[in-house]
Amino acid sequence: MSQGSDIGLIGLAVMGQNLVLNIESRGFAVSVYNRTSATTDEFVARHPGKRLTGCHALPDFVASLARPRKLMIMVKAGAAVDAVIEQLIPLLEADDIIIDGGNSLYTDTERRDAWLTPLGLRFVGAGVSGGEEGARKGPAIMPGGPASTWGVMQPIFEAIAARVDGQPCVMHIGPGGAGHYVKMIHNGIEYGDMQLICEAYSLLQAAGMDTDDMAAVFEQWNEGELQSYLIQITAKALAQRDAETGQPVVDLILDKAGQKGTGQWTQLNAAENAVVISTINAAVEARVLSSQKAQRVLASRQLQGPPARLAVDRATLVAQVHDALYASKIVSYAQGLDLMRTMSDKKQWALDLGSIASIWRGGCIIRARFLNRITEACQADPTLGNLMLAPFFQQVLNRGQMAWRQVVAQAVGAGIPVPAFSASLAYYDSLRTERLSANLLQAQRDFFGAHTYERIDRPAGQWFHTDWPEVID
């Protein structure tokens, strides 16, 4: 007699369906449940001969699973996850494992963990990255939750995850909400990468390059240091023609960016923890401003600026933009890592940043060649304060910084917005400035609020106040 399915999956939207097919293709039996039974029946009928058990009712679904039961929820993040959990609780037994594979906010995952643990159930918040194709062929998976769940989940997770150099792109990230937290940071970094690429595109376009020229540039970049999934799809997107009009598709797409919220969550978390993630912030804000199209159209007619054109040698510009993009990307990852390190210390998650960079090399949206370098840097110096100071990255930044400045200066001169390039450069320059202008800021604080200041000619920790002159309005 069969002992039951190896795992059950709830929620047969596209990601759920693809994950089921991936899991089944690796030799596991999967039970499936969807709120609308017709979807379950259609899905199972469309895949005859596979080890799938379609269930119409949750009690049957739960009863169909081998113990400890492993139930993966793939429904919309938020209230729907809680609703499914509520229904499952009375049906489950001690040690069963509920896995939430959606883009849940990590604090929701912590709340669910605290809710389920006293009931004897185990909860795994697992970030899953890679979109539909990744879910089917091999995503990067970032599971958190109790360490005891890893041994149970490892065979399935490792079988379905993407692989790079033979290594599966999955690891136990840490307790509680750590998995979903790291997925959130992944998404914040994804926002940064995407915005930086868009700024590169806007500069090449301003130099008169057409979409085919630009597709060739991105294709060429994808052969080198910038090799990444996002550069690769950018080349393909630029080359794509609209079937109806024959025009480049990108030229026909309205310039209003959407966002589901993970970038904003990252922003909020950084603000709460006083960590600078200016590249990601710029990327999120660029999306927000892009969405205010009507106001931008109005402003474009009323506020003046130079013509957004770059009269420069194209080959030189391409080389400069390459360096600016690479350097800005390094800053963005340095900031993302800084935030993860800060939270890891605060929450005692013991995040292994080098290994996290390593599982991001495959399956996920930010997969890229240079992640190897981050892993190497973290392993070479586990106490490394800022990624930018690792010898390899120092050398890339020192080599590219002049071109980066030229790119930002040319963009500013031509009135072309490059918020993420310039925020990254400002971070770089702030970090390497030994004496910032904050001395004056401290004087201002002491002037109006007697907040006191430290002096450069006295030991740190001694606080001084000046009797500033009275201001007569």
DSSP of 345-379: HHHT----HHHHHHHTTSSSTT-BTTHHHHHHHHH
Maximum alpha-carbon separation in the chain: 91
User: Is 78 one of the binding residues for ligand 6PG (CB under 6 A)?
Assistant: no
Please state the closest distance from residue 11 (CB atom) to ligand 6PG, in A.
15
Rounded (5°) CA angle 274-230-314: 100
Please state the closest distance from residue 77 (CB atom) to ligand 6PG, in A.
9
User: Is 256 one of the binding residues for ligand 6PG (CB under 6 A)?
Assistant: no
Q: Of 13 and 216, which CB lies nearer to ligand 6PG in the complex structure?
A: 13
How many residues appear in the chain?
473
User: Is 262 one of the binding residues for ligand 6PG (CB under 6 A)?
Assistant: yes
Among residues 24, 110, 190, 199, which one is catalytic? 190
CB burial readout 127-152, b (16+ within 10 A) else e:
bbbbbeebbbebbbbbbbbeeebbee
Distances (CA, A) of 451 to 54, 437, 465: 67, 17, 8
Q: Of 19 and 327, which CB lies nearer to ligand 6PG in the complex structure?
A: 19
User: Is 109 one of the binding residues for ligand 6PG (CB under 6 A)?
Assistant: no
Please state the closest distance from residue 194 (CB atom) to ligand 6PG, in A.
8
CB burial readout 384-408, b (16+ within 10 A) else e:
beebbebeebeebbeebbebbbbbb
User: Is 129 one of the binding residues for ligand 6PG (CB under 6 A)?
Assistant: yes
User: Is 103 one of the binding residues for ligand 6PG (CB under 6 A)?
Assistant: yes
Among residues 70, 110, 183, 329, which one is catalytic? 183
> How many residues lie near ligand 6PG (CB under 6 A)?
13
User: Is 130 one of the binding residues for ligand 6PG (CB under 6 A)?
Assistant: yes
Residue from 46, 56, 260, 309 that binds ligand 6PG (CB under 6 A)? Answer: 260
Beta carbons within 8 Å of 170's beta carbon, 6+ residues apart: 140, 141, 142, 143, 157, 158, 161, 359
- Using DSSP, state whether 445 is helix, strand or coil: helix
Contact in structure between 377 and 392 (CB atoms under 8 Å): yes
Please state the closest distance from residue 15 (CB atom) to ligand 6PG, in A.
9
What is the x/- site pattern for ligand 6PG, positions 389-428, by CB under 6 A? ----------------------------------------
207-246 positions binding ligand 6PG, by CB under 6 A: none
Question: Catalytic annotation on 183?
Answer: yes
Beta carbons within 8 Å of 339's beta carbon, 6+ residues apart: 185, 188, 266, 269, 270, 273, 275, 277
Please state the closest distance from residue 292 (CB atom) to ligand 6PG, in A.
17
Residue from 258, 307, 459, 469 that binds ligand 6PG (CB under 6 A)? Answer: 258
Please state the closest distance from residue 266 (CB atom) to ligand 6PG, in A.
10
Residue from 4, 78, 131, 417 that binds ligand 6PG (CB under 6 A)? Answer: 131
Q: Which residues pair with residue 70 across a beta bridge?
A: 97
Q: Of 65 and 282, which CB lies nearer to ligand 6PG in the complex structure?
A: 282
User: Is 365 one of the binding residues for ligand 6PG (CB under 6 A)?
Assistant: yes
386-395: list long-range contacts, CB under 8 Å, 24+ apart. 386/334, 386/338, 386/431, 387/330, 387/333, 387/334, 387/337, 387/338, 388/330, 388/331, 388/334, 388/428, 388/431, 393/330, 393/334
Stretches 50-58, 174-182, 257-265, 320-328: which one binds ligand 6PG (CB under 6 A)?
A: 257-265
Q: Of 20 and 317, which CB lies nearer to ligand 6PG in the complex structure?
A: 20
Stretches 6-14, 16-24, 256-264, 383-391: which one binds ligand 6PG (CB under 6 A)?
A: 256-264
Sign of CA dihedral 110, 349, 423, 283: negative
Question: Where do runs of H (alpha helix) occur along 89-146?
Answer: 106-116, 131-137
Residue from 204, 330, 364, 423 that binds ligand 6PG (CB under 6 A)? Answer: 364
DSSP classification of residue 66? P
293-332 positions binding ligand 6PG, by CB under 6 A: none
- Which tokens go with 46? 């469309």
Please state the closest distance from residue 265 (CB atom) to ligand 6PG, in A.
10
Task: Tell me the C-alpha distance between 412 and 25, whole Å.
Answer: 52
User: Is 264 one of the binding residues for ligand 6PG (CB under 6 A)?
Assistant: no
User: Is 40 one of the binding residues for ligand 6PG (CB under 6 A)?
Assistant: no
Contact in structure between 103 and 178 (CB atoms under 8 Å): no
User: Is 187 one of the binding residues for ligand 6PG (CB under 6 A)?
Assistant: yes
Measured from each CB, the residue nearest to ligand 6PG is: 129
Please state the closest distance from residue 141 (CB atom) to ligand 6PG, in A.
11
Beta carbons within 8 Å of 116's beta carbon, 6+ residues apart: 85, 89, 98, 122, 123
Question: Catalytic site residues?
Answer: 183, 190
Q: Which residues bind ligand 6PG (CB under 6 A)?
A: 103, 129-131, 187, 190, 258-260, 262-263, 364-365
